[in-house]
Structure formats: structure tokens, C-alpha cells
Structure 1
Amino acid sequence: MIRLLKFFWWSFVAVICALVLGVSGAFLYLSPNLPSVDSLRSIQLQIPLRVFSSDGKLIAEFGEMRRSPIRFADIPPQFIQALLSAEDDNFLNHYGVDPSSLMRAATQLVKSGHIQTGGSTITMQVAKNYFLTSERSFSRKTSEILLALQIERELTKDEILELYVNKIYLGNRAYGIDAAAQVYYGKSIRDVSLAQMAMIAGLPKAPSRFNPLANPARAKERRDWILGRMYKLGKIDEASYQAALAEPLNASYHVPTPEVNAPYVAEMARAEMVGRYGGDAYTEGFRVTTTVPSDMQEMANKAILNGLTEYDERHGYRGPEARFPGKTHAAWQQELNKQRNLGALEPAIVTQVEKTGIKVLTRDGKDEEVAWDTMKWARPYINTNAQGRSPQSPADVAQVGDLVRLQRLDDGKLKFSQVPTAQSALVTLDPNNGAIRALVGGFSFEQSNYNRAMQAKRQPGSSFKPFIYSAALDSGYTASSLVNDAPIVFVDQYLDKEWRPKNDTNTFLGPIRLREALYKSRNLVSIRLLQAMGVDRTIDYITKFGFNKQDLPRNLSLALGTATLTPMEIATGWSTFANGGYKVNPYLIDRIESRSGETLFTANPARVPQGAEDNAGLPAAEQPISTSALPGEAPSALGEVAPPPQTPAVAERIVDNRTTYILTSMLQDVIKRGTGRRALALGRDDLAGKTGTTNESKDAWFSGYNADFVTTVWVGFDQPESLGRREYGGTAALPIWMKFMGAALHGRPSHAPAEPDGILSLRVDPVSGRAASPSTPNAYFELFKAEDSPPSVDELGNGVAPGSPLPADEAAPMDLF
């Protein structure tokens, strides 16, 4: 017996020594490769990029992981108890490793021959989640144990739990308990019930198996088991236990729903953030605040939707997107599940055709009615310029099984519609600093993420003419200068061919004042101006507005708007007219904040100086030019606090403010008596603008402004083709502009640019364009720069009677020829 006892004793000692030697050897072998536990104190969890409107509403979220880190102090104590009951009820007592759990795992391995559980404590899971892979091997498990022991030595239990609850994956792209509470219950972990806490606490073991959305029965079983453990361990009383058990399974899928529909804005912000921070933009938890107010963006969305829909309805109904006759409701529902909303248009399948309208099945499974009155527009589409007969009943428009599109009106009713084939873009800028206030890049981002506001280079047509007229006013011409609107033939040295330009009406008005020529959009006048000023000289002038010289044709067709420019470039150039002659640059991101709320970047755009009227009347060359720094750059290192606020950058004056004031007056006449007369319906006296239509009506434009906003609208097809025989800037683009500007300026007082010093208002002879004497009949008042005011006829000293035309040799060459 003594020998046997000695044998067992020495065997036991040998086993212990072997274990000690093994652990020591493993430690010596693995410790050089183990990461520093101290790094856990400064670990940065992945948090998605979030983009907000200027008034703090969510526009979009970018990133694979949904995570909202939470501090330990903010975690409800009951959730901690639920989590420990489910995952590690001995957590507060062990030192990172629970021998009983490891022995249990080893026993299961011996019995089954494969690994069933790892026997991991919460501390060991922290070690694995932050430092190791999910590989199932003894070396990885050993590293996990060693790291857990180190973690317990260097961190408190509270710190370990905080790391754990913010890192774990809990299904449906939710990482961390607060993100899981948001995904499954639409609220913070601080606001969920005891039963919901138990549900979330049960997810770490197997997020897919116990997911309340994918496997509600298993999830409830797991939840109830955790509640039972909490009750058994004395963490909750019986009343709470029974109440939680009785609570129904009420989890549903919640995602951060954008509060503002601005996908093109979101994509622009995302691209800029990636340009600044690379791939870290998606994971560092940046909060980006844009310059776009939510209400103005929604106004722009609605204007584009209604404007394109109205254009599309004028050209007829192209028929259903697909037909599924003879199918059951269940089959139709399956087909609808494959569809998605495009813009504000919902898919639906016609289930009944009646005399008073149609009944449809919507994608959410509801049977709804569409009134016949909303379908009467649907004449059959033949081509862009022709439609069939008007429908006499719903049966002439739709059949059972048709897949159609519907627009939900403000009162909840449905309007029969279709997805427009034409596209549109809208850009609105603050002319005082270039801030983007609204931007729509197309009918539907889901249909096409091509941002036409920023990327579509199209010919602006007559909406480009104000740049030619601005050059003329800065070259000594006046609003009363007479230019001959008559046929002309050019053999242009740049075009190297004969060119016979004409007006869109094929009429000619003879000598005409510049003011009248602009609001009547006379092409020949613009060409004669450009010819007189010189193409190269005029291009040099126009590039000051921010245009790329390569986009401006080096020939006389430039006067007709044959440059290729984006809506954003046009709006930026027009901002100079609205702000009194200053060059501003468009910008979207107003502020970038870190995950901790520190401001990393604040925009400092070049802006129109306060008190700009102090320099009123000075020629552009004598205006002060800003030497301030450009807008601030993003910090060079992540987490770096932004430098102190910069001195506000002052915009450079590029045009005499008297020129822009006179030009604004001329552009106001476009609305009062020219091609933009429809805008009179807005009932405002502070609006200026210009239509633009290219050859064969392939592009329709309207740009306009008051002192608050500059808005440019383009309408056309992505692959250029005619919009239709009777479609122009005033019929296709202007209505969209009016819908937006009418809403944006509603309730705002009239705000036109202030009159600068150095402006004279003189009576002008309508025949000669010269200053009129008191006896001149039909004289009118015109605005002039002080140095450009015309002499009266009597002052010429040639004995010409007041009101008589000037002799040809005493008139400016362009006055008559």
C-alpha cells in the first residue's frame, strides 16, 4: 500500500509538474507574439459614417457594421445581470479563466470527439474578439487563456464588460448591444423591457440560431431560459419573472431610416469623405453635417417629381411595365416583391377594372382603388410629338395583371402614373457663400445613381447668354445700346465653314435695344455682340465665372450657348449675378465631427463681405481682392482636433457690381415680359432669370435667382433626343423652377440686390437709344453706369431734332450693322 500510495503521489506530482512545464512552455512560446493588453484602453471600434442635413436630420448611413458604442455607466444593471446569467454567471469571481467551464468543455470533447463548446468566459471572448481569430485550435485557445489572464490583471471588470458589449455581433449587421436594441426594437438598450434585454442577452451564443426575426420560436425559448436563470440566481423577483415570460415576442426589423430623401447629396458627401479619409471614412464614426436644409431638399424632390410627371403625361402613356394575367394574388405578390419604389412611384398590379377606376394590389399586400379621374391623361404614346385618342374608360388604359406605377398623394389616395423617361436636375446655391441648399441629380437614385447635377455636361442654350451680356456691359455697352437683329452670314475662321444663324422664330426685328434683345432672346444680337467683342477676349472674361476654358467653344456659336456645362457650373456662374459680382465656390460639407463629438473640420468658404456696398461703384479692377486662406482642410490625422477658427475668407470680386445690378434688371424683364413670363404667377417682384433651349429641344433650362437663392433646372434625356415639338425651357424647366422657388421663398420678403452707387436712371429716346430731351415722345427710363451714360441728341451738336435717329457716321458701328 505504501508503494502504491507513493506511486500515485509521484504520478500526481509528475502530472502537476508536466502541466506547469507545459503551461510555462506555452507561455514562453506564445508570449512574444501576444499583443499588448494596454491597447484595449484606446481601441477604436468601427462606427459607420453618418450624413445629416443642416438641421440635424439623418440623410444616410454608410458602413457594414451598425454600432452605437455605449459606456458601462449607461448600461442598465438588469441587462448586465441577464448577460452574466446567460454567458458567465461566475464572471465577478474568476480571474479571466473558469476552470470548471474548461473541464466541462474538455469532457464534451472526449465524449463526442469534436469541440462543442469552448468553455470561454466573457474575458476570454474579449481576448478573442479583439485580438484573435475564430479558428478552433489548441494554440489559439491557449493564446486566448493567456490574454484573458493579462486582461484581468490590467483592466477592471467594468472595463471588460464595456469592451464586450460594444464588440459582440448580434445579427442583422448589429454590433454591440445598443445597435442590437435599435435594430430589433427601434430604441436604445436603456429603454427596452426586461424581456427584451433577455432576448438580446441570448444572442451572443448564436446570433443566427437565436435571432428573433429569423427563428422566433428558438429566440423565445432562449429568452425564457435566461429569465429562468435570472430568477434562479435571485436577480429578479417572481413577479418580474412572470411578467417578462408573458410578454409577447415583439421584435421587428428597424433600420436607421433616412429622415430626408437626399441620396445624391448623401453620395456626394460620402465621396468627399472617402477622398479625405480613405477607407477609414466608413469605420471611424464621422458625423457629417451638410449645408442642405431638410425642408428645401424635400421641396426640390417634389418639384422634380411633379415637373417630370407633368411633362411625361403631356406625351402619353407607354403601357404597363409588365403583364401577369391569370395569376393568383399570391403569385402577383411574389412579382411585386421583386419590384421597388422608383422615386415616389410605387409598383402595383391591377386586380380589377371597373367603370369608376381600377383596383390594385400594392407591394405591402393591400388592395386599393385608383380613381378614373387620375387616369384620363393616359392617351397612348405614339412618339414624342404624337399621342393616340383620349381614353374613354379605365378599360382603355389598364387590364387585369398589368404592372403599373402609382403616386401616393398627400391625402393618401393613389394617382395613376408611370416612370418618366426624361430626366431632370436641380441645383440651388446660397449666392453669398456657395453653400448648396438643395440638389437633385435625377428622377430616382434607385433607377440611376448618375448625378446629372454634377456630371451631365450639356449645352445650356440661351441660359448662357447673360454671360455674353455681362461681358458687353463691362465693355462699354449699355442696356439701351442698339444692335441690329438682322440676317447675317459668317465664314468663321474657327469653324472654317459658312454659317447662317437664325432666331428660333425665323423672324428679325432690326435695330433693337440690348434689354429687349435679352428678354426676347434674340440669337443674332448675341452673335453680333460676341463678334464685336472678340471670341478670345470674351472667353477670357467668361472663365472668371469658374468655367473651364476647354468647355467653351472658340467660335461665335458660344453666343448661343453651345458650351458643354453642368447644372452646377451654370448655377455657380449665375451666383455672381445674384451677389453683386463676387466669385463663390459651391460646397456641401459644413462640419465634420469625430465619434466623440470633437469638431474636426468647419467649412470656411469665400463669402461676400459684409458691407460690400462700401466698395460700390468701383470698377472690378479696383475692388479689394481677398488674401484670406482657402476653406479649411480636414485634419491630417484621424482624431486630430481642428485648428482654431480661421479668419473668414472673403470672396474675390470679378464683375463690377453695377454691371450685375443692370443685368439683374434686364433678367427681371425676362420674367416680366419675356420667355419667363410664367413665373409672374409666383407674385414676386424680386425674381430674375433666363430660359434656355437647345437645337431640336434636346435640352431645356431655366436659371433664376433673387438675393437669397440661385436655382438652375435642366430637363432632357440622358441620350440626347428631342423633348418634343412644343417643349422649351419655359415649358419643361421653368415649371419645375417655379414649384421649387415658390415653396422656398414662401413667406420670405422681397429681396432683390441693393442698388449700388454710380448708377444713373435716365430717360432714353426709344429710336436712337440716346438720352432723351423733355419733349422726346415715348421716352423710357433706363439704368446706366455713370461713366457710360449716353449724351442727348442735342449734345451731339449736329442739329438733329430730338427723337430723330442718329446719322450712320455718328452711331456706334454695332448700333445699325
Structure 2
Amino acid sequence: MSNNDEPRREDQYRDDGGYDDGRKPLLKRILLWICGAIVLFFIAGCALFFYYASSAPKISQRELSSQNTTVIYDANNKIISRLGAQKRDYASDSQIPETLKHAVVAIEDRRFYKHHGVDIRRIFGAAINNVLGRSDGMQGGSTLTQQLVKLSVFSTAQSDRTFKRKAQEAWLALNVERHFSKNQILKYYINKVYMGNGVYGMRTAAQYYYGKNLNQLDLSQLALLAGMPQSPTNYNPLAANTKYATARRNEVLNAMVRAGYISKSAAQKAANESVTDGLDPDHGDVESSETNVKEKIVDPYIKEVLAQLQAEGYNPNTDGLLVHTNMDLGAQKKLYEAANNEVSFQNDQMQAGAAVTDPHNGQVIAMLGGRHSNVIYGLNRAVQQNRSSGSTAKPLMDYGPAIEYLQWPTFKTVSDTKFYWPGTNKVLHDFDKKYKGNMTMRSALVESRNVPAIRTLQEVGIKRATTFLGGLGISQKEPYTLQNGIALYISPLQMSAAYAAFANGGTYYRPYYINSITTMDGKTKTYSPHGKRAMSKATAYMMTDMLKGVFTNSASTGTAAYLSGVHQAGKTGTTDFPNGGSGVMDSWMAGYTKNYSIGIWTGFDHPMNGGAISSQYERTAVLLYKSIMQYLDEENHASNWKMPDTVEAVRVNGKRQLVIKDSKWALMYSAWNDGDDDSETVHSESSSSSATGSSSGSSSESLSESRSIESILNGGSHTESNSSSATQSSSTSTSTSPAPSPAPNAGNGQ
């Protein structure tokens, strides 16, 4: 080849910049791939956007203009509360000052009059600010129109903050802008937003906070109202600390200056005014809507419902929810009336907390948060866990586990003799400062003797007792000790739910208030029972059978709650003051039928400051229980419990006792004839209740048969603690628990 035939260097490249051999620059190929990916993502995003938009809910003028009141219903679909449903004064165009419109636009959406419902520039700006961690403190990515759509048809729950929801929100905003003018959209927004304290709409807020119409407010007051919807609680001018309200008001004024609506001097003059100037303590002409249910009656229940809604991400003040609860309004009213007007209390300062649950499913039927309260959503004593339960702990921590893990029969011998707290020289006493010697577990429980309960817990062991409590929804951060066997720190609601497991045959249901929640877009979330077996059917039945005696045995402290024809079981409990103080600190009653379980606490909020329950009012909790249970059983009468096939009834000393089939105790007894006398009338059983305080006599003689059975089962020797060995610290199981001092307000055996 001649030199003339060789290609020139410049000929080695094509005009498009590629090589003759077909290779392209790597950078160009990468750019093409990126562009292609962007196009594909854009197309996919558009397709997904329109797919989601096609399923967007309908929106009309009715949704845009209506008030988003959360309505709460009872179990029978009766309205019991309209959350914050004050009278709403709807503001017409002529009643909305231009200054207010300017303030709202300046702080919420300064490009409101330039976009068509969705502001792309604003979205990108908000995204960049979020990435860089900076913000002007005023506006996010949503336009006023999008906010209006969200307030009208969507909830604010965290679970709903998805791309699908955002796509539907944007689509609806575009449609709203097509059908309504900017002025109409602004009017709907001003009339719909939540303004705190149950107030909706800025015209109503003007009356509530200042007692004036919107056109009577000055620049400072209008700026405050315009800024409140972002956080009504924090920017509330009625709050004790108004620094946040002041800061927000000033942000609005500065935004109005930047938007050219007002001058700097006007803004400064308004900023010099206190946000508390002109506040009306009488709240103008704002009136509450009538629901035919007094707010005080349902207050504690509604408080817990609102807490659950907020915990799940809903805003009950703005989401316009329909909430169906499990409340029995009749029971709720009865509980309120009984505590406030029917049952005698020591004085108005003596308080009560109570909860009623359904053993079949855990539904909270009724709740009492306190007496004579004028505070809305105040202290709810039904859910407080800061008071000792006294002897109501014994079925839960002592005797229940003994049946469950040790298969004790109801005639198991327990020892009520002198007892020292392990590792100390402190003696455990009962209310009567006496000991009754050997007695059956049934008698010890019914008569609420402390020493047998603690000895039982020693044999069960703290580990197994803790497991049993956990199955009943009861736990604490610190390890349990022996003293907790007669004093658990739990709430009346926990008490009610735990005893409900005895009532239903051994299943613990977590208590719950809400049956269903329906949001404005028509989506309904339902709640169902959450149950788990906590004990065997045998344990539940045998415990119930023993606890019936609390109402029928004259040696018990619960006979004042006896109801003829009502099949019920339960336990009382009281706690002493530390250092031998006079009076009782806490008084409890837990009781149940197959249909209802009730937990009640009574006492003083500050017992150490002279708040002792006198002996005359120690049984107030028992009487309150009787009043509500009588009403409930008349409404829904419960049948008696049926003995499961894992339990046998036997005759011991002429009395009906129970034993678990095939256990070591199921020997050497005669079967109990169901036709024998087993009445539930109040009577005095032939048991240790006749003892005079010594460890010998009729109480020990009456147990000769059961003791002989135990002796045979244990190889011919009786192994129960007796009066001579009980004077020393029991060393057989003290390793399961630290050596505690007696609780400062442990149960006194009642």
C-alpha cells in the first residue's frame, strides 16, 4: 500500500465522535443508560400515580365544607361523645377579613395563587431542605389545597402516610382546583382547620379565644389564629406558657412582610402586643353540642379511647373518625351514679377507681376514673398502678400457682402459725394479730389469712409465681419478692382482666376499648379479642369454687356483697399504714360472674397526709361492687360454672372439696354426691373460722382426715409446717426470694 492509501489520523474517527470499529465512548454510553433509566422511572412513576389516583375517594363540596368531628359510639351504636363538637360558626366570604386570608397564605402556601393544586417547585424545595437538614420553619411540601383535601377525606395516621395516599391527595387537589375558585378553597380551609380546645374553624376560634367576630380582631390576633393549625396545642394562647404561641404569631407576621402584605412597622407594632391581650375567659358564644350523655360520666373511658387513637397515629381532633367502642352505657352510668350518689364514702376526698371487663373477650365494659371531678380527662384511677392490692393478690400469686403447678386440692393443709420474714426478726401478722393453726387452703383463702398465703408462695417459688402473673398480664420491672404475695401494685383494670381468666375457664384476654375505627375515606379497622391460655380449666374452676365462699362464709370480709341468686366469686383486700398507723390505706374488691369481671380500688390520693380510711368505710369498695354487680347481673344473668372433667368433687370431713383428677391427691376419698347440700346462702362453715387464736383445738381436729391422706401420700410422715417449726424462718424455699422487709403498706389479711 502506498502512503497515499494509508488513512489519515483525522479519517480514523467518524463525524459522530465514534471509532471506526463501532466502539462508543464509555461516558456517553453511561449517560444514555442514565437517561433511559430516568425515562423508565418517570413512566413507571406516572403509571403508578394514575393507578393510585384511579382509586382515590370521591370528594365533593359537602366533604370540603363539613366539620371533621370525631364521633364516639357505645357498644349499642349510641353516640356518647362528639369530640370537640362545639357550636361552629361557618364564616361566609364577607365575614373573612382580607388580612386573615393574607396571613394564612403567607404562612401556609405563599405560591397559593400561582399553582394549580400541586406546587412542584415547593415539593422539590421542601425535599432539598429535608436532605440538607434546613428549613425556614414555615412550610412543607403540601399546598393549602392539599391540606384541605387531607382534612376532608383522609386521616393523619402515620400508617396512612404512604406514596399511594400522597398520590391520591395530589390528584384530588388538582381536581378541587379545577372545580373551585381560590377564594372558595381558602374559605373551606379557614372554616375546617382544628384550632385547639375542641374548636374547629377560625370564626369559632375568634369567639372561643377572644369573644369577638373575625372582623373585630386586630392584626396580632389574626396572625395568631392563622398560625395555630400547624400545632394547636403548642400555639394555644390559653396555655400556661405562651412563648410558643408568641413565636408562631411572630413567624406569621414576618411571612406577611416578606409576601408584601404588611409593612415592617405594622408587623413590629403587632409583635409588641401580648398574645394574651383580649382573651375572653367566657369563650364568647361557643356552645357544646348535645349528645344526651353528660361528659363527666364517660370521661375516663373516652380518655383511654383517645390515648389509643393517638398511640396508633390518628389525630382524633382533625381526622373525623367514627369510633365504635365496647362501652355499655347503662353500666357506665350506673358505675358513675353508684360512686357519686348512691354508695356512702367517708367524704368527698375519698376516691375510687373501677373497671368492668367482659371475661369472654376482654372488652372494657365500663370504667370509673374518680369521684366528684371537675377536670376533663383528669386522673384516671382505674388505670393507675401505684397502689397496693392487699389480699386480692393471693389468688393471683399464691393459691392460683399452687393449684396450677403443685396440683394442690382445695383441702390442702396450710399452716397459720407464727412466721418471720426470711432473714429478719420481723413477724408477719394478720389484722387480728392471731394465728389459727393448721387449716385448709380453702379456709385460708376465704378468711384471707396472710401467713398461709406467704407459706404457699414459698412452696410455689417466686419464679413460677412470676410466670403465672405474666400469663395474667401482670409484670413489674423489679423482681417479685415474698411480700408481693399479699400486695401487688396493679390497677383496677389489670385486676379485672386477671380475675376474668378465673371466670372464663383460664384464658387471659388483654382488655381493649375500641371495636372499630372508620376514617373519612370509608376505611374501617376492626379490633378483635386477643386471648391466651393462662392456666388450666381445673385451676380456674377450683379457684372460682373457693372464691365463692368470700360471699357466703360468715368468716369472710365479702359477705356484704352477697347477692341472692347471683353466681359470683371474688376477693377483698386492704392495706395497712406503715409503722402501725391507724386506719386503712387502700381497700379493694375484685369479683366476677361468668359474664362480668370487676376490679375496684378505694382510698385517698394522698393517704400519708391524713388520708386514712376509717373502719366504718373499709367496706366501701365491697358495697360499690355489690351495687354495680347487682345491676349487671340483672341485665345479663350468668349461669353457674360447670365443673370440668379434669376436676373431681370429694367429701372431706363432711364438706365438699375439689381435687385434680389423677393427681397424687386423688386417693383415699369418697366422691361427693351432687345431691348433697351445697347451698350458697351465707353460713358459717365448720372450719378454722371457729378457732379462738391458738394452733390447736377444733381447727386441727377438723382436718384429721385430710392430714391422714397427706401422711400416707408422703410416706407416713406429715411434712407440712407446724406451730413448732413455723417459729423459725422457712429455709426450704427462701432462695427463691430475697429477704425483704414487710411492705410499707402490705395486705393486712382482709
Q: TM-score, normalised by structure 2?
A: 0.57
Contact 1:45/1:167, CA 8 A, preserved across alignment: no
**1:470 is paired with a residue of what secondary structure?**
helix
Q: Aligned equivalents of 2:474 and 2:642: distance in 1?
A: 27
Give CA-to-partner distance per residue, 1:67-126, whole Å, 9 cap, x none.
699xxxxxxxxx9xxx79x789xxxxxxxxxxxxxxxxxxxxxxxxxxxx96x9xxxx9x
Deviation sequence 1:639-685 (CA, Å, 0-9, x none) = xxxxxxxxxxxx221201111111101001111112211122x2234
Tell me the CA shift for residue 266 of structure 1: 1.5
Q: Give the deviation of 1:174 after TM superposition.
A: 7.0
1:679 lines up with 2:561 in the alignment? yes
How many Å separate the matches in 1 of 2:520 and 2:365? 26
**Residue 754 (str. 1) matches residue 660 (str. 2):** no
User: Using the alignment, how far apart are the partners of 1:725 and 1:175 within structure 2?
Assistant: 48
Between the aligned partners of 1:153 and 1:507, the Cα distance in structure 2 is 81
- 1:716 and 2:607 equivalent? no
Task: Report 1:269-668 matches (<5 A).
Answer: 269-277=305-313, 280-306=315-341, 310-312=344-346, 420-447=348-375, 449-467=378-396, 468-474=398-404, 475-490=406-421, 492=422, 496-550=423-477, 553-554=480-481, 556-561=482-487, 563-596=488-521, 598-606=522-530, 651-668=531-548
- SS of equivalent residue, structure 2 residue 648: strand
Match of residue 791, structure 1, among 647, 657, 667: 667
Report the CA distance shift for 1:793/1:152 in structure 2 as closer, same or farther (over 3 A). Answer: closer
Shift of 1:53: 2.3
Residue 732 (structure 1) aligns with: 620
Alignment of 1:17-166 (within 5 A): 47-62=68-83, 131=105, 155-156=178-179, 164=187
Q: Percent identity?
A: 21
Q: Distance in 1 between matches of 2:706 and 2:440?
A: 16
Is 1:459–1:694's contact at 8 Å kept on the other side of the alignment? yes
Deviation readout 1:480-518 (Å, 9 max, x if unpaired): 11112222234x1xxx42221122112222211111111
Is contact 2:84-2:198 (8 Å) kept? no
**Once the two structures are superposed, what CA deviation does each residue of 1:752-809 show, in whole Å capped at 9, x if it has no partner?**
3332122211211x2xxxxxxxxxxxx22222211234422799xxxxx995963966
CA distance in 1, matches of 2:69, 2:107: 23
- Which one of the candidate residues 565, 568, 587 is aligned to 1:700? 587
Secondary structure of the equivalent of 2:720? helix
What amino acid does structure 2 have at the position aligned with 1:746?
A: E
- Give the residue type in structure 2 aligned to 1:294: L
Contact kept? 2:550, 2:557, Cα under 8 Å: yes
Cα distance in 2, alignment partners of residues 439 and 591 from structure 1: 19
How far apart, in 1, do the equivalents of 2:507 and 2:103 lie?
Answer: 56
Q: Deviations over 1:266-320 (max 9, x none)?
A: 2212222222226x4321212222211211111111122136x61225xxxxxxx
Give the alignment's TM-score, normalised by structure 1.
0.52
Q: Residues 742 and 143 from structure 1, CA distance in 2 versus in 1: closer, same or farther, beyond 3 angstroms?
A: same
Q: Deviations over 1:300-354 (max 9, x none)?
A: 11122136x61225xxxxxxxxxxxxxxxxxxxxxxxxxxxxxxxxxxxxxxxxx
Q: Which residue of 2 aligns with 1:262?
A: 298
Q: Which runs of 5+ in 1 are unaligned?
A: 1-37, 70-78, 89-116, 185-202, 209-250, 314-419, 607-650, 767-778, 796-800
Distance 2:175 2:655 in 1: 91
**In the aligned structure 1, how far is the partner of 2:439 from the partner of 2:183?**
83
Paired with 1:295 and 1:732, the residues of 2 have a C-alpha distance of 22
- Give the Cα–Cα distance (whole angstroms) in 1 for the partners of residues 631 and 502 of structure 2: 22
Relative distance call for 1:570 and 1:422 in structure 2 (3 A) is same
In structure 2, what residue type is equivalent to 1:421?
Answer: Q
Q: Quick one: distance in 1 between partners of 2:567 and 2:670?
A: 36
Aligned counterparts of 2:655 and 2:102: Cα–Cα separation in 1: 86
Alpha carbons 1:165, 1:176 under 8 Å: kept: no
Over 3 Å counting, the alpha-carbon distance change for 1:793 and 1:173 in structure 2 is closer
Structure 2 distance, partners of 1:143, 1:794, is 90
What amino acid sits opposite 2:560 in the alignment?
A: R
1:744 has 2:628 as partner? no
What 5-or-longer segments of structure 2 have no aligned partner?
1-57, 117-142, 145-172, 219-283, 578-583, 672-702, 724-750
Whether the 8 Å contact between 1:47 and 1:63 is mirrored in structure 2 is no
C-alpha displacement of 1:57: 3.5
- Structure 1 residue 159: deviation in Å? 11
**Against the structure 1 CA distance between its residues 586 and 688, is the aligned structure 2 distance closer, same or farther, given a 3 Å change threshold?**
same
Residue range with higher mean Cα deviation, 161-170 or 718-727:
161-170
Residues 167 and 175 of structure 1 are in contact (CA less than 8 Å); yes or no, is this contact kept in structure 2?
Answer: no
Give distance in 1, aligned partners of 2:387 and 2:447. Answer: 23
Q: CA deviation at 1:443?
A: 1.2
Q: Please name the residue that 1:781 is paired with.
A: 656
SS of the residue 1:438 aligns to: strand
Q: Is 1:482–1:514's contact at 8 Å kept on the other side of the alignment?
A: yes
Higher alpha-carbon deviation: 703-712 or 519-528: 519-528
Higher relative contact order structure (alpha carbons within 8 Å, sequence separation ≥ 6): 2
Distance 1:55-1:206 versus aligned 2 partners, 3 A rule = farther
RMSD value over aligned CA atoms? 4.6
Contact 1:50 1:286 in 2 (8 A): yes
Residue 691 of structure 1 and its aligned partner are, at CA, apart by 0.4
Give the match's secondary structure for 1:265.
helix
3-state SS in 2 of match to 1:311 = coil
Equivalent residues of 1:44, 1:284 under 8 A apart: no
Partner secondary structure for residue 454 of structure 1? coil
The answer to whether the 8 A contact 1:526-1:559 is kept is yes
Query: Residue 320 of structure 2: SS of its match in structure 1?
Result: coil
Quickly say closer, same or farther: Cα 1:252–1:282, change in 2 above 3 A: closer
Query: Where does residue 91 of structure 1 map in the other structure?
Result: none
Q: In structure 1, what is the equivalent of residue 133 of structure 2?
A: none
The letter for the 1-side match of 2:525 is F
2:307 match: secondary structure: helix
Q: Are the counterparts in 2 of residues 657 and 756 from structure 1 also a CA contact under 8 Å? A: yes
The question of whether the paired residues in 1 share the 8 Å contact of 2:346 and 2:617 is answered with no
Q: Residues 411 and 706 of structure 2 are in contact (CA less than 8 Å); yes or no, is this contact kept in structure 1?
A: no
* AA at the equivalent of 1:311: F
Q: Report the residue type matching 2:338 in the other structure.
A: A
Cα shift at 1:552: 5.9
How has the CA–CA distance of structure 1 residues 746 and 140 changed in structure 2, closer, same or farther, with 3 Å as cutoff?
closer
User: For residue 638 of structure 1, what is the aligned residue in structure 2?
Assistant: none
For residues 556-606 of structure 1, the C-alpha deviation after alignment (integer angstroms, 9 at most, x for no partner) is 222222x2222222222112111111121011122111125x243211222
State the alpha-carbon separation in 1 of the partners of residues 329 and 670 from structure 2: 60
Task: Give the SS at the match of 1:310.
Answer: coil
Shift of 1:40: 10
Matched-pair contact (CA < 8 Å) for 2:649–2:658 = yes
Deviation of 1:749 (Å): 2.7
For the structure 1 residues 47 and 483, does the alpha-carbon distance in structure 2 shift closer, same or farther, using more than 3 Å as the test? same
Q: Counterpart amino acid of 1:500?
A: V
